[in-house]
Amino acid sequence: MDDLSFERDVARVAARLAYPPTPDVRGRVLELVARPERRRRWHLRPALALAAAAALAIAMAVPLAVPASRSAVAQFFGVSRSKVEILPTPAPGVTPTPLPTPAGITFSATPTTLDGARTASGFAPSLPPQAGAPVAVYLVDYGRPPAVVLQYPQFDLWESHTDGFFVKGVPPGVEVRDVTVAGRAATWVGAGEHIVRFVDPGGETVAASVRTVGRATLIWSTPAGFYRLETELPEAESIALAETLP
């Protein structure tokens, strides 16, 4: 199991785990400090319970005190080569910084043809059978080999064999759900403005990749490659389309 898969599984379990209420031991501790004779009579089992509670409190406090760890706790990991981050909710009375205006694929892509895409990427792009030929084809050079984007009237289909991964920064209120495509794990990000960026194998964000997306996005991976569908289609139609691809 790779690190990303492990973190994804941990995050999913944590998100579903119901934590018991933390007991209030402050009064008991103060009483024992103030009355030594009670400390002497306090038997071992309660002492161990208090020590365990203290250890748990420290274990929880340390990661939450580190910004990077807080970020990791708030992440939901979807499929291979993809990560979805839930952005923090603004504090009461604080106006959130607006996201940049959504940008289409032409923001950072180079027009090409299907033959040109095949030559540059080293693989033959898969076409959704019911959609026909794309109205435009683009190369996105975030890494090697470049990703291919097939543009249709109602969606853009990204196909990639590029090392690295895409990150979606999703603000509160935008739906994020685990779904399946032909039995494989997938992620559905509902319509609503969110940020997408590409992180190279060295862990650096590719500056040209950062943009705001307003459409829903379906993300999945198969042995044939990694896919992203930025779409105006409903979720069910998007999944049905995805299941026609290898």
- Model pLDDT, residue 43: 45
Structure tokens at 97: 């910084």
User: In this structure, are 108 and 59 located in the same domain?
Assistant: no
CA-based angle 53:56:61, to the nearest 5?
A: 125
- Model pLDDT, residue 120: 96
Counting residues of the chain whose pLDDT is more than 90, the rounded percentage is 52
User: In this structure, are 145 and 199 located in the same domain?
Assistant: yes
User: In this structure, are 131 and 174 located in the same domain?
Assistant: yes
User: In this structure, are 58 and 100 located in the same domain?
Assistant: no
**Which residues have CB under 8 Å from 241's CB, separation 6+?**
128, 130, 131, 155, 229, 233
CA dist list (Å): 18 to 13, 14, 54, 235: 10, 8, 20, 29
User: In this structure, are 66 and 93 located in the same domain?
Assistant: no
User: In this structure, are 105 and 91 located in the same domain?
Assistant: yes
User: In this structure, are 143 and 39 located in the same domain?
Assistant: no
User: In this structure, are 87 and 70 located in the same domain?
Assistant: no
**Contact between residue 77 and residue 4 where contact means Cβ atoms under 8 Å apart:** yes
- Mean per-residue pLDDT for 162-187? 94
- Model pLDDT, residue 89: 83
pLDDT in tens, 19-58: 444 454 445 544 544 454 544 443 434 444 444 434 333 3
**Contact between residue 118 and residue 125 where contact means Cβ atoms under 8 Å apart:** yes
- Model pLDDT, residue 190: 97
> Residue 69 above 70 pLDDT?
no
> Residue 102 above 90 pLDDT?
no
Domain count within the chain? 2
Which residue, 189, 178, 174, 181, is CA-closest to 231? Answer: 189
Pick from 66-75, 125-134, 159-168: least confident: 66-75
CA distance 126 to 227: 10
- The residue out of 40, 56, 76 marking a domain boundary is 76
**Contact between residue 76 and residue 11 where contact means Cβ atoms under 8 Å apart:** yes
User: In this structure, are 33 and 125 located in the same domain?
Assistant: no
**Contact between residue 175 and residue 188 where contact means Cβ atoms under 8 Å apart:** yes
User: In this structure, are 129 and 179 located in the same domain?
Assistant: yes
> Residue 126 above 50 pLDDT?
yes
Tokens 């979606």 -> residue = 168
User: In this structure, are 72 and 168 located in the same domain?
Assistant: no
Whether the pTM exceeds 0.85: the reply is no
Torsion of CA 82, 148, 144, 119, to 10 degrees: 150
- Mean per-residue pLDDT for 89-114? 80
User: In this structure, are 125 and 59 located in the same domain?
Assistant: no
Average per-residue pLDDT for the chain: 76
Domain of residue 41 covers: 3-16+25-76
